[in-house]
Amino acid sequence: MAEPCEKKIPLSRTTKFVVDNRGRTAPTSSSGIALIATNCISNDDLYPTYKNVRYVSGETYREWFRSHPEPGDIILTLKGSQNGAVCLVPAQVDFAIAQDMVALRPDDKTIDPLFLFAALRSRAVQEQIRNLDVSGVIPHLKKGDFDKLFLPYPDRYLQEFIGHIYFSLCNKIELNRRMNETLEAMARAIFKDWFVDFGPTRAKMECRAPYLEPDIWSLFPDRLDDEGKPEGWNAKPLDQVADFLNGLALQKFPANGSESLPVIKIAQLRASGVASADRASTEIPPDYVVEDGDVLFSWSGSLLHRVWTAGRGALNQHLFKVTSKSFPKWFYFHWIAEHMPSFQAIAASKATTMGHIQRHHLTQATTFVATPDAMGAADELISPLFERQIANDLESRTLAAIRDFLLPKLMSGEIHVRDAEKLVGEAT
């Protein structure tokens, strides 16, 4: 066991500048420079994400804000459900930060910047942030609390090691996320061109030059039929392409004993994880057990669908597990994606607190099935992209587990540098 770190340093002594925009709301515009709010900052992401962003004009960006984040700064949220969330400012800064957060500029003579990033995310420091928050209804951390927020302060070599290990694991997860965005876009482009827009057939009808390999180009019909689909293709309702199994009321299957399954509800699907999930018995019918790689679709409340990669779990009501004996997973996944906007509109129109769709809406959603040869060609192109996305997500889950296992043990001295290096080397 390594020596535990007894030295502490207040957060206020680790920074040389704090970007703080007065706790006021900047005037926004319909376009311009992204305004990052607290919902864009998460301890699960290395950098800010662009979720439901607003914008500020160039003039507002230059004149209204006191200062702006710089590459390598550390963003810390101060208020709301994301209170205490931390991420790095990337090399290219194309955003401003809204109220209820600050950007910390580390004093690298005092502390290793990446160690500061890791320390702020550590369980012990996050717990301090929660304990410092005494505001009641809305979680709130004040700049004045920075003197009271104490971080572990090991020797510099250990700071640099912890910071490097933590950043490297986070960065690999970030690279996987970006790769998956590219893979998803590639798969979606092929699917939409072939199965939704009928691009190759329309190009033939308009006498345009082929844009696919000859052996693939020849698989597409020369014209559309009277129903507007390629000749020889079939139109099928979505619920004939795949089976939609609704989950159980799992409160009827409580955990009993040492073994149990996390209950996968809408919240877990949205978060792609089972933190704080309820537990259910392992004795549920096998069809209702969710495995990595299963397609899940929430049909009530927040309508969304995902390939599940957060481990074995139990399927709760309001979620479908989608399977098919006749069609590949990518095929029904992308058809659900194609119809999702209309499903969401149907749910939003319901005069209830939990908008939803019904099974007849699945029947009304049309899919188009190509000839066996064309389906086979599509599978050869899209399936590897789809499976690589799943593999990347599973790898990221493993890396995150190692990162979150190592950080507190390195901070406390419970694990030695050599052991940490070995564990990370085996995983990467």
pLDDT over 90 at 73, yes or no: yes
Picking from 368, 329, 374, the residue whose alpha carbon sits closest to that of residue 236 is 368
Nearest alpha-carbon partner for 41 in 79, 5, 76: 76
397 occurs within a structural domain = yes
Which of 153, 175, 200 is the C-terminal boundary of a domain? 153
Same domain, 114 and 197: no
Question: Residues 168, 53: one domain?
Answer: no
Whether 333 is in a domain gets the answer no
Q: Say how far apart CA 4 and CA 66 lie, in whole Å.
A: 40
Same domain, 16 and 140: yes
Do 27 and 111 fall within a single domain?
Answer: yes
Q: Is the pLDDT of residue 383 over 50?
A: yes
Q: Is the pLDDT of residue 87 over 50?
A: yes
Calculate mean pLDDT across residues 3-15.
84
Q: Which segments of 108-257 does DSSP mark as H helices, in order?
A: 113-121, 123-132, 156-191, 199-205, 214-217, 238-241
Residue 276 included in any domain = no
Higher per-residue pLDDT: 131 or 97: 97
128 pLDDT higher than 50: yes
256 pLDDT tier (thresholds 50, 70, 90) = confident
Residues 93 and 30 in one domain: yes
3-class state of residue 254 by DSSP: strand
pLDDT at position 299 over 90 = yes
pLDDT digits (tens, 9 = 90+) for 149-165: 999 999 999 999 999 99
Q: What residues make up the domain containing 169?
A: 155-231+370-428
Mean pLDDT score of the chain, rounded to an integer? Answer: 92
Domain tally for the chain?
2
pLDDT digits (tens, 9 = 90+) for 14-39: 999 999 876 678 899 989 999 999 99
Q: Which helix (H) or strand (E) holds 367?
A: strand 366-369
pLDDT > 80? residue 401: yes
pLDDT in tens, 273-298: 998 899 999 999 999 999 999 999 99
Of 108, 131, 153, the position where a domain reaches its end is: 153
Position 342 in a domain:
no
Say what the pLDDT of residue 1 is: 46
Q: What is the pLDDT of residue 203?
A: 98
Phi, psi of 296 (to 5 degrees): -115, 145
- Please report, for the chain, how many H helices and E strands are present, in that order: 12, 19
